[in-house]
Structure 1
């Protein structure tokens, strides 16, 4: 009978497995997996509390304290990481994301503490809204991070006709930076593994010419590969794209023109792999995405940027849920107001 409390979690996990087998490139997979884990955790905590044992309640309190400490540690980590990124990469808006995230976390904590201490109707409403929005965003972020990690470790097809490398900008107008070099190195490794299985896939370097670049990214990428011993006759250049979506759409046109029933592997950096996979599905690419290593200090800020991009991609759903949470805050204010008036 006790195991029945885990039935919703088990059912959600089964749905997740079926969805991954059918199509792994969906953000809804991440949400379903997150709900399964959340239901399992809630069922476990409920059993501990209902048991009435001292050990059960101690575990429940320990989880609460651990959650609070995690918020504190994460805030400090984001603040220190933000300072490191600014010191290494400069003060661009993107490089300030870690600092902004830390500031937002501190603001939410401050609003909640104020609401608990003051307990006026307005502050109760503000606290309820802030906690609801923070919980929603935290849940989506954890779903994104966990599933992106899982997606990066799922096996790709044993055979492919193409390996597509996404561009990421040049240094000094013509030089491949370390971030892009890691993608090219991973692409060579993927190509070598596919060739060992009897294939001879074409490697497509994808990237157009930016306003501050002397040559298209795809040409600089191809030159880099050739300089590192890759056969020039196995390289195809896609030199018109300026965004990830264009990278994939224009590369798709090249692949379909030569091999209508093609299969491919797309290479980018690990922090970008899952969002690139979502874009690949939307553009009709027949293939999965693999990621190359990224510098440890740059990974947190890049992950936050990717998560923000996904929020924008699903803006209608997120705005609708956000408005519902604001409405819940208004209802909390009204209920507190009625309680005081009564």
Structure 2
């Protein structure tokens, strides 16, 4: 009962957090803790379950714990190879491959510690597993809540749709990744326009400045892409100064406040980037919900790892502090042993 009571408390905190502001990472942590304590409550209740049920559950759980990391590492490595073949050898494209190799490395280290019966190596492995358990918990919280956030209904009273830029091909052409954002942005615009009065028709902002290897600002190429496909040119506003996602938010906010003070918006990016963009929008003071556009499946693992790493470092004081405390705990165990 205690586990269920704690689960209810965290579930209540999660509900209050979502009502106050959907764009909080604490919502993800509360949800993760609620699910964790609910699972612990179910495991504790196995004592009262029929013998066959409890044994089956324990066997399945052990198989998942034993084979899960091996299967996950293999899938990540396979995805990493595919990413390199399709997207090149940029560091950001190697993340899923490195994660898979890292899991294999930890498993080998654990096996060596067991075979050699080395107490120092066992302490090192134990400390590493504690840190990885903490990071993995946050990662699962991030994925779970990002999934939920991406499926929340679009607000009906937004005055603007802001589409974030992502670079051009050959210095002037819209790539498929950016095209998916623009197509999604147009869908959102049309949904909002159908619900609004004529004098309050929403405006679509294309946001993106000109990079050193680009012939024109991203926002201009984005606007051209939409207009060439029949989008009304007078409903497009170009934000052409930003170089980063943070600047996308701040400079777009300036345009919105200039024309319609206090207005709300819907921000469009790719689905793997939506939750982190929502955190950035909150930090920048932008009153907006973020929605995602479809992304190729093979792109997801590396992109999601990159997004999580950025969020993890965004709260570096807390996260690195906890990781340091776990390492110090391991060092204390080494000294005591």
For the aligned pair, the TM-score class normalised by the smaller chain equals over 0.9
Does 1:151 find its partner at 2:145? Answer: no
Unmatched tracts of structure 1, length 5 or more: 338-342
After superposition, where does 1:43-58 map in structure 2 within 5 Å?
43-49=41-47, 53-58=51-56
Aligned residue in 1 for 2:90: 92
CA deviations over 1:283-318 (Å, ceiling 9, x no partner) = 000110000000111111111110111111111111
After superposition, where does 1:200-219 map in structure 2 within 5 Å?
200-219=201-220
Q: CA deviation at 1:103?
A: 1.2
Aligned with 2:319: secondary structure?
helix
Following the alignment from structure 2 to structure 1, what is the Cα–Cα distance between the partners of residues 39 and 327? 26
Aligned residue among 88, 107, 110 for 1:109: 107
Q: CA deviation at 1:83?
A: 0.5
Q: CA deviation at 1:57?
A: 3.5
User: TM-score scaled to structure 1, two decimals?
Assistant: 0.94
Q: CA deviation at 1:47?
A: 1.9
Aligned residue in 1 for 2:24: 26
Asked if structure 2 preserves the Cα contact closer than 8 Å seen for 1:12 and 1:32, the reply is yes
Aligned residue in 1 for 2:163: 165
Asked if structure 1 preserves the Cα contact closer than 8 Å seen for 2:24 and 2:279, the reply is yes
Q: CA deviation at 1:145?
A: 0.6
User: TM-score scaled to structure 2, two decimals?
Assistant: 0.96
Supply the RMSD in Å over aligned alpha carbons.
1.4
Asked if structure 1 preserves the Cα contact closer than 8 Å seen for 2:3 and 2:40, the reply is no
Unmatched tracts of structure 2, length 5 or more: none
Asked if structure 2 preserves the Cα contact closer than 8 Å seen for 1:204 and 1:251, the reply is yes
Q: CA deviation at 1:4?
A: 4.6
CA deviations over 1:22-54 (Å, ceiling 9, x no partner) = 111011110110011111111111221466835
Following the alignment from structure 1 to structure 2, what is the Cα–Cα distance between the partners of residues 328 and 4? 27
Following the alignment from structure 1 to structure 2, what is the Cα–Cα distance between the partners of residues 234 and 67? 54
Asked if structure 2 preserves the Cα contact closer than 8 Å seen for 1:112 and 1:131, the reply is no
Q: CA deviation at 1:112?
A: 2.1
Following the alignment from structure 1 to structure 2, what is the Cα–Cα distance between the partners of residues 58 and 247? 52
Q: Size of the alignment, in residue pairs?
A: 334
Does 1:325 find its partner at 2:326? Answer: yes
Aligned residue among 125, 139, 153 for 2:137: 139
Asked if structure 2 preserves the Cα contact closer than 8 Å seen for 1:9 and 1:35, the reply is yes
Flag as ranges the 4+ runs of structure 1 deviating above 6 A.
Answer: none
